[in-house]
């Protein structure tokens, strides 16, 4: 029984039990056969060894077979073949001073935006902070660049009170006013 248009078999296949059960990794949430394509494959192996030892042995045996056939197995896996994100690079922690800078930038003739930089040095998620500022001031707020949040409107003065209130690890002394700047 096959589909005449594309040659795929129709219906259940002999020798396969249904429903098909797929095992997912607790680290990367991919099916365990695809963990090797995840950038943190070593963590996936540790999780698999702890939680599913029989599956771990099966995956390791499959990996040894593939490495034996290819010759240069490890070098071959490191290089990205095509498409996709490849290996995700961890962001560098800046060892510089922990300081939040607040400035105002003109936008058009009478309008302005407030620019907040330096929140990521305190390990604050910029998307969460942007969402907080947008709801607090009832305006648009977005993350632009690596460590910059742009808030629509001139809310620079209010930020000196709100930032330490929301994030206690930032004290008022570590917030610097850069005044008016061009973007």
What's the mean per-residue pLDDT of the chain?
81
Residues 115 and 57 in one domain: no
Domain annotation covers residue 25: yes
pLDDT band of 72, cuts 50, 70, 90? very low
Residue 34 has pLDDT above 90, yes or no: no
Q: pLDDT (tens digit, 9 = 90+) per residue, 134-175?
A: 999 999 999 988 889 999 999 998 998 899 898 888 888 888
Nearest-CA neighbor of 40 among 29, 50, 51?
29
Diameter over CA atoms, the chain: 75
Residues 104 and 51 in one domain: no
pLDDT band of 39, cuts 50, 70, 90? confident
Domain annotation covers residue 42: yes
Number of domains forming the structure of the chain = 2
Domain containing residue 130: 100-180
Our CA dihedral for 152, 156, 157, 161, rounded to 10 degrees, sits at 90
Q: pLDDT (tens digit, 9 = 90+) per residue, 53-68?
A: 888 888 777 766 665 5
CA R_g for the chain: 26
Percentage above 70 pLDDT, the chain: 79
Residue 166 sits in a domain whose CATH number is: 3.30.780.10
Domain annotation covers residue 145: yes
Domain annotation covers residue 89: no
pLDDT band of 71, cuts 50, 70, 90? very low
Distance CA 5, CA 58 (A): 37
Cis? peptide before 114, omega within 30° of 0: no
Domain annotation covers residue 78: no
């Amino acid at each position: 029984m096959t589909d005449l248009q594309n040659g795929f078999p129709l219906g259940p296949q002999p020798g396969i039990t249904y429903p098909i059960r797929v095992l997912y990794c607790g680290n990367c949430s991919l099916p365990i056969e695809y963990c090797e394509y995840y950038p943190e494959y070593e963590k996936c192996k540790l999780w698999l060894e702890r939680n599913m030892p029989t599956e771990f042995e099966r995956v390791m045996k499959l990996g040894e077979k593939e490495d034996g056939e290819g010759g240069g197995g490890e070098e071959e896996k490191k290089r990205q073949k095509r498409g996709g994100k490849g290996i995700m690079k961890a962001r560098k922690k800046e060892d510089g001073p922990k300081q939040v800078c607040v400035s105002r930038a003109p936008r058009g003739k009478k309008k302005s935006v407030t620019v907040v930089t330096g929140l990521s040095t305190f390990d604050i998620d910029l998307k969460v902070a942007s969402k907080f500022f947008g709801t607090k001031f009832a305006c648009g707020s977005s993350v632009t660049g690596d460590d910059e949040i742009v808030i629509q409107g001139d809310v620079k003065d209010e930020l000196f009170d709100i930032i330490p209130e929301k994030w206690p690890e930032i004290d008022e002394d570590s917030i610097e006013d850069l005044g008016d700047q061009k973007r």
